[in-house]
Amino acid sequence: MKAFLTKYFIFLSLLIVTLGLVRFCVLIHHQEVGSTLTTVEKIRKNGKLRLITSKAINTYYLYNNKPAGFEYDLALEFAKFMNVELDVITPGWNNMFAYLKQGKGDFIAAGLPITAPRLEEADFSIPYMTIQQHMIHHNLIFGPKDIKDMESKIFHVRRGTAYHDRVAEIKASGVNLKYVLHNNIPTEELIGMVHNREIKFTIADSNIALLCRRFFPDIHIGIPIQERESLAWAVRKNDSEMLKQINKFFLYANNTGILKRITTKYYGNMDNFDAYELKKFHERIKKRLPEYKDVIKEESAKHGFDWHLIAAVVYQESQFDPDAKSFTNVRGLMQVTENTAKEMGIKNRHDPQQSIRAGIKYLALMYKRFNYIKDESQRLLFALASYNIGYGHVKDAMGLAKQKGDDPNTWKALEAALPLLCKAKYYNQTKYGYARGWEPVLYVERIQTYFDILKQKKAAITL
């Protein structure tokens, strides 16, 4: 019996050891199988797409605790394309490629030009935008006339950028310029330092320079110092499946209009304002807006509007002048008509508080009339157009859009149809007749730009 028990325990021990080894081998096998998954397979398995980017006005920022930015919006559409969620990782500009190599993210989208040094670190997608490096200086400073004229001047650029590569290249060519390198400072911050005359020169891509000119109106976009370059997304070296997936998305985004829509949202209408107009806007939001800011915020909150948007509307209507009067005899900060004033329950259109109260209430009424438009941002554009030209004319334009076979509930269709209201061929078919239909299109574009400036000024503080 004792011999039997001894043999039994030996057998049991061997069995336990054997099962342990089998389990260990199975675990190792699963780990090895898991480690051979491609980036795309891991994304689909985990349900998360990890974006590596930098915090900057042209890439990714938070506005009212909500993410925004050109690269973020485009990456969000990419996540939808893959039917997964988007995670955002911001390790700092100088650490992005290290994070990519270490597998801490799936791709980089940060306004990256394709350059020779970067091609050694990563593979790049097909381009989605072309840009050009420009010298940036203050309007009151005479900038270099050509690259040779950069001699002896000091340029401030961020370390590890294409700007860094370019000024080093120019210096190596024999132009004895000087440059100061900054770590992880966004380009717009350096542009702001030029605007405030803390430094004399920096370098920026054309898209960033035009974007920043909206809220730094005293900058001058000087000579180009580089040939045109292409912006693209970066993936790990030899990550062919991920590269293929991104390229498929860019083709899809281009064909469906997604790329154009997001590009227009962030970079559209940038040439519609000269430096004088922009400077006047900044001066008046600094000097005049504070007087009306509290009532704008209070009344905006009642109707669920972002007060920065309403401030943009007030500026477009009156430039914060309570005595403003149009050629059609509308008056006050919000340019309210007599009929609208009565309808909204105010007695004095000149009184700033009453004018703001009536204007916001009327805009909210227009907004509610388009409740069937599910996209809130689109609905807002319809409401703004109605505020400017009247609800009836907007409905007429929607009817014309429908006749043309366009979706009348999209701003793209409406902005194409509204100008038709000044042509007899079209307005004779409508209920409300002739209207200066190009005006609400420009009106909405300008409000969007003013709104963007106010949002980005606020966001820049938190970057």
**Catalytic residue numbers, as ranges:** 317
d(CA 209, CA 188): 8
User: 62-75: buried (b, 16+ CB within 10 Å) or exposed (e) per residue?
Assistant: ebeeeebbbbbbbb
DSSP 325: B
d(CA 15, CA 260): 66
Residue 283 tokens read as 């001066």
Count the Cβ atoms, other than its own, within 10 Å of residue 291.
Answer: 11
Is the alpha carbon torsion for 445, 446, 451, 454 positive or negative?
Answer: positive
Asked whether the beta carbons of 308 and 450 are under 8 A apart, the reply is no
d(CA 317, CA 312): 9
What does R_g of the chain's alpha carbons equal in angstroms? 29
Any idea which residue has 């014309």 for tokens? 400
DSSP 331: B
Of the chain, the end-to-end C-alpha distance in Å amounts to 79
d(CA 433, CA 390): 12
Asked whether the beta carbons of 190 and 182 are under 8 A apart, the reply is yes
DSSP 188-251: HHHHHHHHTTSSSEEEEEHHHHHHHHTT-TTEEEEEE-S--EEEEEEE-TT-HHHHHHHHHHHH
